[in-house]
Amino acid sequence: ENGTSIFVDGNEYQIHVKTLFFVSDLPAKSLFTKTINFNGYFACTNCITEGTLLNKQIIYPYKYNNYQSRNHEDFVTIAAGVEKSNTNAKYHSSVIGIKGLSCLLKLFRYPDDIIHDYMHLICLNHVSTLLKRFTCILTKNDIDGIDSMLSNLHLPHDAHVKYIYSIKSVNDWKAKDSRLFILNVGLPILIQHLPELYSSHFSIYCMAIKILHCPRSFEEIELADTMIHYYCKNASTIYDQKIELYSLHAHLHLPNQVLNHGAMAFTSSFCFESAIRHVKKKAHGTKHLGSQISFWYDIESIVITKKSEPPSRFLINEIKLNSSILNPYKKKLNENLNILQHDALKIQFYLRFKDKFVTYHSVLYDKRFSCNSYLVSYNDQHHQIQYGNIILFYSLENQYYSLIQQFRRTNIRISDELNIPEKFKNILDSFYPICSLNDEFIIIQAGNIRSKCISVPFKQYECISERRINYEHD
């Protein structure tokens, strides 16, 4: 409560620590908050919708949703009551899903600070549920077609995703494989194979998750809320009632969670899971694992002397103007330098650009590899989003520039392939533009690059989508 002070370079800083949220998968959430399991009657963390029994399974039909929100004070009161009546009782009971009083409630507000983890809920759960449904509908030819498109993708080097397992073996997929599938590559690939009804419904889910993963405005979050409701409302008609598990219902509360705690990309278990292998090294044997781990962290933080520097921006892999790899682009490069009146003799050319946490490559650099870290989106002089391949970078008078080969949007729109409400069409087309690579080049300031993009072959064109976060954990 009073905080603690630390000294950095002789200056004293007063540090206050507070908890933000509790994130876990559904079984751990039930265990730690002393609530019933996700397959029970009042499983929802956020509202008091009661589940319905269907063939020995509890489902949460959209039409019976009761959005009356739980609140911290009531929750604690009921929890204390249940805890008391369960002491010495032979059979333990629960009241609207509450099984006892968890000590976590002293630290966290329920339900606002007990959040859903999109890594478990979406990547490992709902995406694999959907893929299992799809593989039942698809022909063997289509499954082979999808698998082959997935394994032939050229992805950014830092995506660390390789689709080695078929969509039939989605249980072998890693969470990051499903993440890339739902955010970027799944929709343009599936549209080319799935019946329209399924890909239309799936497209709504993709858009909503893409927004909630990293929203750019409050309006987007509102839109994602409408989309999630549309998706859940129609799910049982598209599939059947069994799709309406609590894990689907839980999606309805994600927009509010994102409003309270920020983008799902920054509140998920991905970072914790990727830290597990480091944490594991700090414990040996089977006893007192927690104390061992915290002991070594204590020691390390006391003796740490290395000062860490925030990353900066710089160009790397210099090449000379007379280098032969430049030959195919020399004419276009000179034309564009002339337009800007940039003197080629005063310029240093480079193949890569490190922009703080993100490294952009160029076509010339990635030639030797099968990755694609050169396809980017950028803002043009009219503040419109354009797409292009980075050919190379250069610096002139401490400014960084990039020569870009431009993509142009085609007349084909992805929404033409689907049957979705009119109000969602523009946003879908802006998330997944269908483009073709042109023979037009432009020089832009490196600072105008927005993000890396991922492209999927779509008929004779490319379906491009932005990667909104380029430095999320695996």
For Zn ion, give the closer residue by CB, 153 or 248.
Answer: 248
- Which residues from 399-458 bind Zn ion, rule CB under 5 A? none
Candidate ranges 38-46, 88-96, 236-244, 434-442; the one touching Zn ion (CB under 5 A): 38-46
Minimum distance from CB of 52 to Zn ion (Å)? 14
128: contact with Zn ion by CB under 5 A: no
For Zn ion, give the closer residue by CB, 30 or 372.
Answer: 30
Minimum distance from CB of 67 to Zn ion (Å)? 7
CA 125/CA 267 separation, integer angstroms: 17
Minimum distance from CB of 213 to Zn ion (Å)? 21
Candidate ranges 43-51, 189-197, 199-207, 413-421; the one touching Zn ion (CB under 5 A): 43-51
Give the dihedral sign, CA 319/324/325/326.
Answer: positive
CA 365/CA 343 separation, integer angstroms: 23
For Zn ion, give the closer residue by CB, 253 or 352.
Answer: 253
Instruction: Tell me which of 46, 267, 336, 372 binds Zn ion, using CB under 5 A.
Output: 46
Minimum distance from CB of 62 to Zn ion (Å)? 11
Give the dihedral sign, CA 102/106/111/114.
Answer: negative
State how far the alpha carbon of 431 is from the alpha carbons of 87, 339, 418, 460, in Å: 55, 32, 14, 19
Minimum distance from CB of 46 to Zn ion (Å)? 5
CA 270/CA 302 separation, integer angstroms: 27
List CB contacts of 340: < 8 A, sequence separation 6 or more. Answer: 443
3-class DSSP assignment, residue 42: coil
Minimum distance from CB of 245 to Zn ion (Å)? 12
- Which residues from 48-87 bind Zn ion, rule CB under 5 A? 49
Minimum distance from CB of 244 to Zn ion (Å)? 12
Minimum distance from CB of 250 to Zn ion (Å)? 7
CA 178/CA 363 separation, integer angstroms: 27
The DSSP string of 319-387 is E-TT-GGGGGGHHHHHHHHHHHT--GGG-EEEEEEEETTEEE--HHHHTTSS----EEEEE-TTS-EEE
- Beta carbons within 10 angstroms of residue 101's beta carbon: 21
Instruction: List the one residue out of 382, 364, 384 whose CA is nearest residue 374.
Output: 364
For Zn ion, give the closer residue by CB, 259 or 325.
Answer: 259
Residue with tokens 């920054």: 266
For Zn ion, give the closer residue by CB, 224 or 363.
Answer: 224
For Zn ion, give the closer residue by CB, 47 or 289.
Answer: 47
State how far the alpha carbon of 216 is from the alpha carbons of 37, 109, 210, 221, 281, in Å: 34, 27, 10, 8, 38
Number of residues near Zn ion (by CB under 5 A)? 4
CA 189/CA 207 separation, integer angstroms: 15
Minimum distance from CB of 70 to Zn ion (Å)? 9
For Zn ion, give the closer residue by CB, 34 or 70.
Answer: 70
For Zn ion, give the closer residue by CB, 69 or 86.
Answer: 69
For Zn ion, give the closer residue by CB, 69 or 359.
Answer: 69
Instruction: List the one residue out of 114, 174, 212, 233 whose CA is nearest residue 468.
Output: 212
For Zn ion, give the closer residue by CB, 96 or 271.
Answer: 96
Instruction: Tell me which of 26, 36, 44, 130 binds Zn ion, using CB under 5 A.
Output: 44
47: contact with Zn ion by CB under 5 A: yes
Minimum distance from CB of 246 to Zn ion (Å)? 8
Helices (H), 87-217: 118, 127-137, 140-151, 175-180, 186-191, 196-213
CA 301/CA 89 separation, integer angstroms: 46
For Zn ion, give the closer residue by CB, 46 or 470.
Answer: 46
3-class DSSP assignment, residue 247: helix
- Beta carbons within 10 angstroms of residue 423's beta carbon: 11
Minimum distance from CB of 69 to Zn ion (Å)? 9
Residues that bind Zn ion (CB under 5 A): 44, 46-47, 49
